[in-house]
Amino acid sequence: MALSDTDIKAWSEALNLAEQNGTAMKRITKTIPDLDIPSSYDIQDRLIRLRCDRGEQIVGYKMGLTSKAKMEQMGVSDPIMGVLTDAMKVESNANYSLKNKIHPRIEPEIAFHIKSELKGNVGREKLLGACSWASLALEIIDSRYRNFDFRLPDVLADNCSSTGFVLGEAISNIASLALDNIQLQMTFDDKVMQEGSSSAILGHPLDSLEALVSMLSARGKSLPADSIVLAGAATAAVTLEAGTKVTVSGTGFSPVNLSIVS
């Protein structure tokens, strides 16, 4: 079902409030079981507009549910895309506070910087040419829905649970990286919490970027020049705990750390 403009506004305001107050809400599809995908993206767009009205700037996009581990963890089997703003950027080695968060989780990712605008059907070659660097990343996700329980339209409306992202050292010699064979490991203190390969990300992380560009194009948009893109988690996400140091390491990259505080 397509939503009216009034309803799109109301749901985006509800999601915005849930995020600002750190309180979970009932998923939209409990109220509107047949919420359609275009309306979900309209809610996402409105939600991002509310952030921009507060002075935030769009810095890129993220792909999600691009690995089997994530699809199984969340019970949704279609890749999704969301928007990243400057306010979501967290410096590596920072103390990250869980204050005002609902039930935050963290996952290991690979990020790319795209220097020139991309649209339509792009292959790996074109993507590589447009890519200025790659880095390891940690993504913090915090669904605004109670118990992290959502269906595809809900998670799209909620900007794909986007909350924070940490970027590691930028590697500009991308050719030196075996992009589909990066062994990723995420630890809490010294305990291994998740391990996986970048091949889990739609087979190859650049194929995830290709999917992003085609999803944007299908909505009449393009991937703008100077965009950061998170390709999607290679493993399931893990609930954050105060007092832990989270580290992600990956072949060819220096590790990225984040200290979690209450």
Residues in contact with ligand OOG by the rule CB under 6 A: 62, 64-65, 70, 74, 107, 139, 141, 143, 155, 160-161, 232-233, 237
Looking at beta carbons only, is 30 or 115 nearer to ligand OOG?
A: 30
User: Least CB distance from residue 105 to ligand OOG, whole Å?
Assistant: 7
Quick check: helix, strand or coil at residue 102? coil
Nearer to Mg ion, 65 or 131 (CB): 65
- When CB distances are held under 5 to 8 angstroms depending on the partner's kind, the choice from ligand OOG, Mg ion, none that residue 70 binds is ligand OOG
Q: Which of 7, 19, 42, 139 binds Mg ion (CB under 5 A)?
A: 139
DSSP secondary structure string, 135-204? EEEEEEE--SBGGG---HHHHHHTGGGEEEEEE---B--GGGS-TT--EEEEEETTEEEEEEEGGGTTTS
Residue with tokens 């080695």: 93
Query: How far is CA 232 from each of CA 18, 56, 110, 112, 180, rounded to the nearest angstrom?
Result: 24, 23, 7, 11, 13
| CA 196, chain centre distance (Å) | 17
* Residue numbers 62-81 binding Mg ion by CB under 5 A: 64
In angstroms, what is the minimal distance from the CB of 100 to ligand OOG? 18
Q: How far is the CB of 62 from ligand OOG (least distance, A)?
A: 6
Burial of 11 (0-12, 13-18, 19+ CB in 10 A): buried
By CB under 5 A, which span of 25-33, 61-69, 171-179, 195-203 interacts with Mg ion?
A: 61-69
Residue 160 interacts, among Mg ion, ligand OOG, none and using kind-specific CB cut-offs from 5 to 8 Å, with: ligand OOG
Q: Which does 27 bind (CB under 5 to 8 A by kind): Mg ion, ligand OOG, none?
A: none
* Residue with the two structure tokens 């506004």: 9
d(CA 167, CA 248): 11
Shortest Å, Cβ 23 to ligand OOG: 17
Q: Of 74 and 130, which CB lies nearer to ligand OOG in the complex structure?
A: 74
Q: Is 7 in the site for Mg ion (CB under 5 A)?
A: no
User: Can you tell me whether residue 108 is helix, strand or coil?
Assistant: strand
Residue 227 interacts with, from Mg ion, ligand OOG, none (CB under 5-8 Å by kind):
none
Of all residues in the shown chain, the one whose CB is closest to Mg ion is 139
Minimum CB distance to ligand OOG, residue 13 (Å): 21
Q: Does 142 bind Mg ion (CB under 5 A)?
A: no
What is the C-alpha separation between 240 and 103, in angstroms, rounded?
8
One-letter amino acid for residue 56 of the chain: E
Q: How far is the CB of 173 from ligand OOG (least distance, A)?
A: 25
233 lines the binding site for Mg ion (CB under 5 A): yes
Answer whether 28's CB lies under 8 Å from 10's CB: no
What secondary structure letter does DSSP report for 225? Answer: S
| Residues contributing to the site for Mg ion (CB under 5 A) | 64, 139, 233
